[in-house]
Amino acid sequence: MSSRVKVEKQKRSGQPAEKQEGSQTFLYTRKRGYDITRDPHLNKGMAFSLEERQQLGIHGLLPPCVLSQDVQVLRVLRNYERQKCDLDRYILLMGLQDRNEKLFYKVLTSDIERFMPIVYTPTVGLACQQYGLAFRRPRGLFITIHDRGHISTLMQSWPENVIKAVVVTDGERILGLGDLGSYGMGIPVGKLALYTACGGVKPQECLPVMLDVGTDNEELLRDPLYIGLRHKRVRGKPYDDLLEEFMKAVTDRYGMNCLIQFEDFANANAFRLLNKYRDQYCTFNDDIQGTAAVAVAGLLAALRLTENKLSDHTVLFQGAGEAAMGIADLIVMAMKKEGTPTDVAIKKIWMVDSKGLIVKGRASLTHEKEQFAHPHEEMLKLEDVVKNIRPTVLIGVAAISGAFTEKIIKDMASFNDRPIIFALSNPTSKAECTAEQCYHLTEGRGIFASGSPFDPVTLPNGRTLYPGQGNNAYVFPGVALGVVACGVRYISDEIFLNTAEIIAQQVSDKHLEEGRLYPPLQTIQEVSIKLAVKIVEDAYKNNTASVFPEPENKEAFILSQIYSTDYDQFVVDSYSWPDEAMKIQTVNI
């Protein structure tokens, strides 16, 4: 289809249409006047030129001064600095996203390391807890258990006809905070903001979804500001029927290539839904697979410090939920790639849950836990398990603050020259230990990573270490960009192991010397592009891509998909003009 025909078709549908002319992008829209200034996809604030204001019918609706986007960024930053707490900063940025999308992403990408902790972990956890206060304007779709039988009709309420990525939650296990019901909508909104800021996925092609089936959180049910259904969670067949209808409704409207990312479902549903749908739809679970990829990436980088193979290590998990299982499965896959048999790899992984060490013969083990249950006496305390198992790698994913005690950290340092300690639980208040505790108690020998950001730590000898943040944002934006670009229909675990390897490769020797196990956050879009290019290359090589013809230059193909945060130039929709000559002239700019 030629660009002109494509533009004409989009214009007739009433959707904004873009057309590239050299380095300049022209945006066609049929909207006029007040509607332009209230549409976050189209609004440029005071950056509209005088010509655009006159042609779009907004002259007089704005002050006469024309401000450049750079000046607008400066104004946002000054307002941002005036805020008294991170929740206020979050609300300010979300308000900007509601008003002016291009400016919002321009601000985010201007200093992603500064703003990521605000729009996502850890501040998004606080924002979800306070969502009744932070809620200003609905974003995404709220689908309830009472909408069964009508979800396909409800999907028509969303104004965008092209959606390539959906992030969905039911709010039952938000970060380490538990059941937040409809307040959990902050997670899909935040994830998709990072799809764009870190991966360049176009925001208008993303859709956050909350599946509200109720909440078991009594405090929320009593909260007068609560925005969700006020009854206990619906489970069993009605719940499964809702999910089945939702998956079908999404793909009926947006196609089988539409990526559906599951986010913050409780353990009992997370594994089950992933196993049920992974071979039917283009889907993955970030808590299981995304967390696994970023954790294994950190381990692969750490191997350059321990100077051995992954299969030489013994790994102990504090926690045995979806994150732990996802990481463990990917570690096994990585060990197998080194040449270690599966059964040998599994024996190198131990887990501790709320009832203690997971061992053979212990009652009531789930299928997922059973595969990592080894012959051993039962032990209740993590301190005793660490001393007995003598792991080389300790990973915390149970959201138990302070679980890695001083004794545990010192014990890890006593039988390991370079103990690997990952405190991956979010938000910061749930971290198993701090970076300062790890570095000081191991006398600087600890190899540390966390789920939430920690400040640099200066040791008594004057050496400063920069703790690595195992942020899933290194994974899911790049995976999404690659998957949607070439139309991969089923996402394999190999994609996540490849992702872990690529992330680890971006860590330089200098980064490792500084304590970093991940590339600097400022480079995260470059990392995402590398991931996407690898996914596209493998997809065409393995015949799993569905977008044709196959692009010759895969990197150029990916770069052509990247969302631009620069303002577009508007061209008035010719169909509103009676003059036929003017209509032809406008279309052929």
Catalytic residues: 120, 191
Cβ atoms < 10 Å from Cβ of 84: 7
Q: Minimal CA–CA distance to 491: which of 293, 239, 196, 231? A: 293
Q: Are 503 and 474 a contacting pair, CB within 8 Å?
A: yes
- Read off the tokens for 475: 């994974």
DSSP state of 522: G
Parallel, antiparallel, or unpaired for β 165-169 and 206-212? parallel
Residues 6+ apart with CB under 8 A from 560: none
Q: Minimal CA–CA distance to 250: which of 143, 139, 137? A: 143
Give 239-276 as a 3 state SS string. Answer: HHHHHHHHHHHHHHHHCCCCEEEECCCCHHHHHHHHHH
**DSSP per-residue string spanning 113-137:** HHHHHHHSTTHHHHHHHTHHHH--S
Q: Are 242 and 229 a contacting pair, CB within 8 Å?
A: no
C-alpha to C-alpha distance for 370 and 185, rounded to whole angstroms: 33
Query: Based on the number of CB atoms within 10 Å of its own CB, is 329 exposed (0-12), middle (13-18) or buried (19 or more)?
Result: buried
> What one-letter code names the amino acid at 160?
E
C-alpha to C-alpha distance for 290 and 248, rounded to whole angstroms: 24
C-alpha to C-alpha distance for 326 and 285, rounded to whole angstroms: 9
Omega cis (within 30) before 453: no
